[in-house]
Amino acid sequence: MNFNNNAKWVAVSQFSRVSMQLLGMLFLARLLRPADYGVMAIAMVVVNLANLLRDMGTSAAVVQRKELPDDAIATIFWLNVVVGVILAIAISVVAKIMVLVFASPNLPPVLWLLALGFPITASSAVHQALLERDSRFKLLARIEIVSSFAGLLVAALLASFHFGVYCLPFQILTSSILSCIQLWVARSWYPKRRFSRDSFRQLLGYSGNLTVFSLINYLARNMDSIVIGKVLGAVQLGIYSQAYRVMLFPLQNMTFVATRALFPILSGRQHDIVEARKIYLKTVTLVVTITAPLMGGMWILRSEFVQVIFGAKWMAVVPVLAWLAPVGFIQSIVSTSGTVFMALGNTDKLMRLGVIATILQVGGFFIGVRWDINHVAAMYCLSNVINFVIAMEVTMRELGGNLMTLLVAISRPIVCTSLMLAGIWVGHRYLAGIGVRDLPLAIYITMLGTAVYGAAGFGWMRSAKFAFHGCEVAPKGGD
| Interior/surface letters 307-321, b for 16+ CB within 10 angstroms, e for the rest | beebeeeeebbbbbb
DSSP 3-state of 119 = helix
Question: Contact at 8 Å (CB) between 28 and 167?
Answer: yes
Give every residue of the chain whose pLDDT is below 70, as ranges: 1-11, 14, 22, 25-26, 29, 34, 38, 55-69, 101-103, 194-209, 234, 249-253, 458-479
Burial profile 386-424: b = 16 or more Cβ within 10 angstroms, e = fewer: ebbeebbbbbbebbebebebbeebbebbbebbeebbebb
Closest CA to 166 of 1, 32, 260: 32
Cα separation, 295 vs 172, whole angstroms: 31
Burial class (CB in 10 A: 0-12, 13-18, 19+), 450: middle
Number of neighbouring beta carbons within 10 Å of residue 103: 8
Cβ neighbours of residue 228 under 8 Å, at least 6 residues apart?
236, 237, 240, 365, 369, 373, 376
Beta partners for 472?
Answer: 2
What pLDDT was estimated at residue 466? 42
**For position 468, what pLDDT does the model report?**
45
pLDDT at 476: 46
What is the structure's pLDDT at 71?
74
* DSSP 8-state assignment for residue 312: G
Q: Are 279 and 227 in contact (CB under 8 A)?
A: no
In degrees, rounded to 5, the angle at the alpha carbon of residue 380 between the alpha carbons of residues 378 and 381 is: 65
Within 10 angstroms of residue 241's Cβ, the number of other Cβ atoms is: 17
